[in-house]
């Protein structure tokens, strides 16, 4: 029997040698395997382009040590053999997706792979966890950079500067990087948390993410990378930091910005640089006015917008243009008579960011309609509708406030409301039904339908 086992093992070795497959890997010799008690484990593992002796599995401590070449291929999906009672948590799909086609095993100093009982891949409680420890064959070395590097501020399609490196995987990620403005000498630095080892098309590249530097401005910079051993890598080509797509924050999306006539509207975002941004306001008659005398913060994160005291209270549509091009987004602005806080209507229906106030809002009678509002005074809110055909005809909609759960605030119009166009107001009444306050009218008409 013993000579048969030796023959089979010799045949396997010969097959690997003749086929030349880099995936071939012998199973662990059971005589030296310390785990013979049915424990879930990895029996063998092989990565493309890696020699058989470059992978060592420490079964006792659940460690997989992988000696890596200087440069890796883009695809490193491993072939993993497990004991019959074991499955990879999430299955092999998990390895392909969550481990970036196998390269994910080498992106950190230690990466774990959880095992669960067979056919229990959805379990959230792994039985055994193996840790992969990548080891480089040499020191971190920067590759050739032959052209200037362009980087746009806050552009999701260009959010990193990629520098080629060999022995990137298996060495510690560099400790920090510095961007030095060639014109001013100002330096910006970030720690290793702002760098990543690349995968897919950026395999064998180190990604540097300057978007974490909130005060970075357009200009020409030198890039210096410092590794964990104190070695300095100075990129030989300049980094050209350019203005990216402008963006306005709009956190009160269901209510709109708020400002008093004659006061300043403060807008926040990024890539809001002087000479590149223009703003205008459009009222509910379709009249548009350009906003002048804008004050820009030099880092492009803040604009102070003076609002004319001549503008009537009501809702307006704000638009932003970058280098003459509209960004195709609209923002509501509520302009009040003065600085006194008052209740007002936010959104009625499903159009929370309309680009015109000329189009009426359709509300179906006896059906709950999404409705937001800001209530300042104590009391019960209700929606007042005044007929455009006869202003003596007035109806009221019942408001269901938001109570903190998942159900949104709504308004429901009763059956007796006639079909047609109405002007809407938010009213607050006390317990006796007496009027406490009435808001400025909603800038869009309400079209009641069935």
The reported pLDDT for the residue numbered 16 is 36
Q: How many CB atoms sit inside 10 A of residue 261's CB?
A: 16
- Backbone conformation region of residue 168, classed left if phi is above 0, alpha if psi is from -120 to 50, else beta: alpha
The structure tokens 């938010």 sit at 426
The verdict on 283 and 235 lying in the same domain is no
Residue 1 pLDDT class (50, 70, 90 cuts): very low
Q: Which of 5-19, 109-123, 129-143, 215-229 has the lowest mean pLDDT?
A: 5-19
Note whether residue 264 is domain-resident: yes
With cut-offs at 50, 70 and 90, classify the pLDDT of residue 36: low
Q: Supply the CATH number for residue 54's domain.
A: 2.60.40.2340
213 within some domain: yes
In angstroms, the Cα distances linking 125 to 87, 89, 96, 295 are 12, 9, 21, 55
Query: Is residue 288 within 8 Å of 369, Cβ to Cβ?
Result: no
Percent of the chain with pLDDT over 70: 90
CA dist., res. 288 & res. 184, Å (int): 41
Is residue 296 a contact partner of residue 271, using CB atoms and an 8 Å limit? no
Residues 150 and 228 in one domain: yes
Does residue 367 register a pLDDT over 80?
A: yes
Higher pLDDT, 350 or 163: 163
| Cα–Cα distance, 168 to 198 (Å, whole number) | 9
Q: How confident is the model at residue 175 (pLDDT cuts 50, 70, 90)?
A: very high
pLDDT higher for 70 or 342? 70
What b/e sequence results for 411-425 when a residue is b if at least 16 CB atoms lie within 10 Å of its CB, and e otherwise? Answer: bbbeeebeebebbbb
Across residues 74-96, what is the average pLDDT? 83
For residue 178, which of 167, 170, 186 has the smallest C-alpha distance?
A: 186
279/208 same-domain check: no
**16 or 40, higher pLDDT:** 40
Helices of type H across 159-309: none
Confidence band of 120 (pLDDT split at 50, 70, 90): low
Closest CA to 106 of 85, 151, 136: 136
The answer to whether 350 and 433 have CB atoms below 8 angstroms apart is no
What is the extent of the structural domain holding 298? 247-336
Q: Is residue 13 part of a domain?
A: no
Gap between the Cα atoms of 41 and 43, Å rounded: 6
Domain boundary among 112, 136, 160: 136
| Tally of CB atoms within 10 A around 153 | 23
Q: What is the CATH number of the domain that holds 304?
A: 2.60.40.10
Verify that 164 and 124 share a domain, yes or no. Answer: no
* pLDDT class of 7 with cuts at 50, 70, 90: very low
**Is the residue at 49 inside a domain?**
yes
CATH number reported for the structural domain that contains residue 435 in this entry: 2.60.40
Answer whether residue 162 is part of any domain: yes
Q: Residue 279: name the closest of 248, 319, 242 by CA.
A: 319
Residues 6+ apart with CB under 8 A from 77: 48, 95, 96, 101, 102
**Counting beta carbons within 10 angstroms of the beta carbon of residue 23, is it exposed (0 to 12), middle (13 to 18) or buried (19 or more)?**
middle
388 and 422 assigned to the same domain:
yes
Residue 6 confidence (pLDDT) above 50 = no
Domains: count for the chain: 4
What confidence score (pLDDT) does residue 264 get?
97
98, 38: one domain? yes
At 86, the pLDDT band (50, 70, 90 cuts) reads confident
Could you tell me if residue 2 is inside a domain? Answer: no
Residue closest to 192 by CA, chosen among 113, 104, 107:
107
Short-list 260, 256, 249, 281, CA closest to 374: 256
For residues 199 and 359, what is the distance between their CA atoms, to the nearest angstrom? 49
Whether the model clears a pTM of 0.75, i.e. scores above it, the answer is: yes
Tell whether 109 and 217 lie within a shared domain: no
Condensed to tens digits (0 to 9), the pLDDT of residues 393-427 reads: 999 999 999 887 778 899 999 999 999 999 999 99
For residues 336 and 324, give the distance between their C-alpha atoms in angstroms, rounded to a whole number.
29
Domain boundary among 277, 301, 336: 336
What integer pLDDT is reported at residue 124 of this predicted model? 65
What tokens appear for 355 in the block?
Answer: 């680009």
Averaged pLDDT, 180-190: 96
Q: Are 316 and 283 in contact (CB under 8 A)?
A: yes
- Tell me the Ramachandran region of residue 178: left when phi exceeds 0, alpha when psi lies from -120 to 50, beta otherwise: beta
What single-letter DSSP state applies at residue 236? S
Is 12 inside any structural domain?
no
The DSSP result for 108-157, as a single string, is SS-EEEEEEETT-TT-SS-SEEEEEEEEESS--EE----S-EEEETT-GG
Residue 398 pairs in a beta bridge with: 382, 412
* Both tokens assigned to 188: 């910006």
Does 180 map to a domain? Answer: yes
Instruction: Tell which of 242, 277, 306 closes a domain.
Output: 242
Count of all residues that appear for the chain in the document:
450
* Start-to-end Cα distance in the chain: 87
pLDDT over threshold 50, residue 32: no
Residues 26 and 125 in one domain: yes
Kindly state whether residues 206 and 105 are assigned to the same domain.
no
**267 and 172 in a common domain:** no
Which pLDDT score is estimated for 376? Answer: 92
Q: Are residues 386 and 355 in the same domain?
A: yes
Identify whether residues 59 and 109 lie together within a single domain.
yes
């Amino acid at each position: 029997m013993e000579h048969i086992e030796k023959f089979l093992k010799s045949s396997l070795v010969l097959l690997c040698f003749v086929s030349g497959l880099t995936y071939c890997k012998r199973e662990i010799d059971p005589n030296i395997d310390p785990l013979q008690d049915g424990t879930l484990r990895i029996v063998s593992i092989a990565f493309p382009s890696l020699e058989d002796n470059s992978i060592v599995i420490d079964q006792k401590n659940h460690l997989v040590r992988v000696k890596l070449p200087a440069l890796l291929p883009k695809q490193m999906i491993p072939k993993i053999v497990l004991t019959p009672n074991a499955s990879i948590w999430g299955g092999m799909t998990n390895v392909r997706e969550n481990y970036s086609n196998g390269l994910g095993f080498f992106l950190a100093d230690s990466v774990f792979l959880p095992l669960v009982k067979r056919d229990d891949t959805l379990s959230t409680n792994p039985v055994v966890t193996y840790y992969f420890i990548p080891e480089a064959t040499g020191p971190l070395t920067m590759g050739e950079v032959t052209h200037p590097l362009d980087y746009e501020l806050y552009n999701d399609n260009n959010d990193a500067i990629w520098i080629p490196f060999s022995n990137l995987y298996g060495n510690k990620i560099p400790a920090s990087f510095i961007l030095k403005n060639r014109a001013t000498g100002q330096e910006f630095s970030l720690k290793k948390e702002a760098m990543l080892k690349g995968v897919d098309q950026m395999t064998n590249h180190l990604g540097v993410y300057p978007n974490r530097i909130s005060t970075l401005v357009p200009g020409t910079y030198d890039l210096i990378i410092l590794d964990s051993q104190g070695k300095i890598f100075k990129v030989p080509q300049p980094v050209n930091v350019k203005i990216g797509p402008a963006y306005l924050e709009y956190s009160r999306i269901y209510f709109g910005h708020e400002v008093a006539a004659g006061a300043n509207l403060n807008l926040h975002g990024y890539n809001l640089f002087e000479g590149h941004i223009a703003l205008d306001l459009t009222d509910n008659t379709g009249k548009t006015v350009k906003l002048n005398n804008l004050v820009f913060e030099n880092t492009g994160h803040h604009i102070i917008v003076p609002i004319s005291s001549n503008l009537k209270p009501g809702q307006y549509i704000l638009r932003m243009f970058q280098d003459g091009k509209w960004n195709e987004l609209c923002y509501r602005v509520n302009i009040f008579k003065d600085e006194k806080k008052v209740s007002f209507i936010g959104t009625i229906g499903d159009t929370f960011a309309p680009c015109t106030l000329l189009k009426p809002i359709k509300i179906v009678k006896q059906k709950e309609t999404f409705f937001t509002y800001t209530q300042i005074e104590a009391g019960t809110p209700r929606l007042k509708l005044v007929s455009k055909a006869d202003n003596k005809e007035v109806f009221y909609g019942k408001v269901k406030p938001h109570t903190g759960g998942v159900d949104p605030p709504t308004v429901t119009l009763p059956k007796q409301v006639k079909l047609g166009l109405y002007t809407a107001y938010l009213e607050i009444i006390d317990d006796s039904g007496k009027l406490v306050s009435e808001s400025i009218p909603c800038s869009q008409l309400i079209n009641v339908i069935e």
